[in-house]
Amino acid sequence: MTMRNTLIETYSHDGEGYNPFLIRAGWQVAQLNHMPEQAPGGIVKMDQHLQTDEVFILLKGQAILIAATQTAAGFSFTGLKMQPGITYNIPVNTWHNIAMDEMAQVIIVEKNDTHLGDFIYQPLTSVEKEALDHLVKESMLNNI
């Protein structure tokens, strides 16, 4: 939803999932709302951007920002329970994802048109998914 008056524009996204709603030369702002693929226990892949950092700001709900390193043995995960109003950055070329409860809404700032092609995905193995699910569950319960 976009509203305009002569000097101030406002944007919001009430639907499920990802919506890049403000795209300008060099950057864009999007909102990510809960969807099944981001639910605790629903994450099956990691994402990586090759041309941009990605900034996350939690508006409401609970979310765990996940980063990972990849070795020959697979992904090694770290997670951080997001706090509303704090700015979190995932540097370019970092494997990442986000687990969100049903109420979660997150603002994302990144290079313009990232959603059109600057991403690669790596599916999780069953062992990696189990480790990630455990990390997300513990992080949500323990405020870590």
* Domain annotation for the chain: domains and CATH numbers: 2-142 (2.60.120.10)
Predicted confidence at residue 114, as pLDDT, reads: 79
- How confident is the model over 43-63, as pLDDT tens digits? 999 999 999 899 999 999 999
Tokens of 124: 């999780």
Tell me the pTM: 0.86
Q: Kindly report the backbone phi and psi dihedral angles of residue 109, in degrees, each rounded to the nearest multiple of 5, phi listed first.
A: -120, 130
Question: Residue 75: exposed, middle, or buried by beta-carbon count in 10 A (0-12, 13-18, 19+)?
Answer: buried
pLDDT tens, position by position, for the chain (144 residues)? 556 666 888 888 888 888 888 888 889 999 999 999 999 999 999 999 999 899 999 999 999 999 999 999 999 999 999 999 999 999 999 999 999 999 999 999 998 887 778 889 999 999 999 999 999 999 988 765
Residues sharing a CB contact under 8 Å with residue 128, sequence separation 6 or more, in sequence order: 74, 75, 77
What residue type is assigned to position 121 of the chain? Answer: Y
